[in-house]
Amino acid sequence: MKLSHQPILPFVAALCGIFTFSIMDALMKSATIAAGAYSSVLLRSVLGAVMMLPVWQLTGKARWPERNVLKVHAARGLLSSVMATTFFYGLARIPMAEGMALSFIAPLIALYLAAVFLGERIGRKAIFASLLGLGGVLVIAAGRWEAGGFGPEALKGVAAILGSAVAYAANLVVQRHQAQLADPREIAFFQALFTSLFMSAALPWLFAMPSAGAMTDIFGAAVLASTSIMLLSWAYARAEAHVLIPTEYSAFIWAALMGWAMFGEAVTGPTIAGVVLIVAACWIAARGHTEQTAL
């Protein structure tokens, strides 16, 4: 598929995808607090697969993917199961804005993953950007330390979200490739399907049936997640990743608003300062990568 020379529509679609994902994050945080991360993510994925199957079939173009495409779907599903479970586990233990800010290191990690798996060279700008991004993470951590909120649960939350960021970085690499191979509706269905399959391996030991209220949140999250995946897949198939990745940072605004509206969470100065450093680091890294690609 040819990339659009006018990326405004893909850019807007990506922004809308991030917005719907952010509302989904808030619903999933509520469900995770009530029912746990494993049960919430598993049920969201199962509901997503059930909802997206007829949507995919009704396109009239649905066919079983070729083996190489199916492998990409499976890889994304595996990454999603790890990424989502660790992220929502962490998000249930720290404020949404803080959790989202920490997850922003994913694009920096993606640079190193691209070097390992794609053989791309890491330049001086990328190394400097990584140190700057690490500084942002330390600023956020220091702010929480000063506030006296670094108890055992908060530590688990921070560690889980940083682990999720590693999986999300790999997801960014796979997402671009996947968007060029399959229709957005196919991607949304198979991501939910494979995530459900991978997660179900631990069902006998970890699953607990959520309450009616938590199930309402999970159902809403499944609808929003499927919508967001289709929007982002459509966007990434039509514009280059470096054009769209900056839209990820709009999630901080929505996370702050959702955290305040639904959970009464305040946004602290150190969190904002950390976000500024991390976003600046990602911008420097993206510019350095673009310049190297052009050489």
Residue-wise pLDDT tens digits, 265-276: 888 888 888 888
Compute the distance between CA of residue 14 and CA of residue 32 in angstroms, rounded to an integer: 26
**111 vs 103, higher pLDDT:** 103
Give 24's pLDDT tier (boundaries 50, 70, 90).
very high
Q: Among 174-178, 202-206, 214-218, which stretch is predicted with the lowest mean pLDDT?
A: 174-178
In a domain, 1, yes or no: no
Domain count of the chain?
Answer: 1
Q: What is the structure's pLDDT at 4?
A: 47
Q: Using CA of residue 245, residue 70, residue 2, residue 122, what is the dihedral sign?
A: positive
Predicted pLDDT at 294: 37
Q: Is residue 85 part of a domain?
A: yes
Rg of the chain taking only CA atoms, in angstroms? 19
Domain that holds residue 76: 8-294
C-alpha atoms less than 13 angstroms from C-alpha of 10 in its C-beta half-sphere? 22
Q: Do 75 and 233 form a contact (C-beta atoms < 8 A)?
A: no
Does the pLDDT of residue 150 top 70, yes or no? no
Q: Is the pLDDT of residue 158 over 60?
A: yes
Could you count the other beta carbons within 10 Å of the beta carbon of residue 278? 29
Give the other-Cβ count within 10 Å of 209's Cβ. Answer: 9
Determine the 3-state secondary structure of 85 from DSSP. Answer: helix
**Is 3 among the domain residues?**
no
Residue 245 lies in a domain: yes
Q: Of 218, 244, 106, give the one whose Cα is nearest residue 162.
A: 106
Tokens of 213: 């209220």
In Å, what is the CA distance from 266 to each residue of 64, 114, 171, 272? 47, 36, 30, 11
Distance CA 154, CA 275 (A): 19
Q: CA angle 239-55-14, nearest 5°? A: 25
DSSP string computed for 230-280: HHHHHHHTTS-HHHHGGGGGGHHHHHHHHHHHHH-PPPPHHHHHHHHHHHH
- What is residue 201's DSSP assignment? G
Query: For residue 77, is it within any domain?
Result: yes
Q: State mean pLDDT over 45-52.
A: 94
Within a domain: residue 46? yes
Residue 109 has pLDDT above 90, yes or no: no
Greater confidence (160 vs 182) lies with 160
Alpha-carbon span 169 to 71, nearest angstrom: 18
Q: Look up the pTM and report it.
A: 0.83
Give domain status of residue 2, yes or no.
no
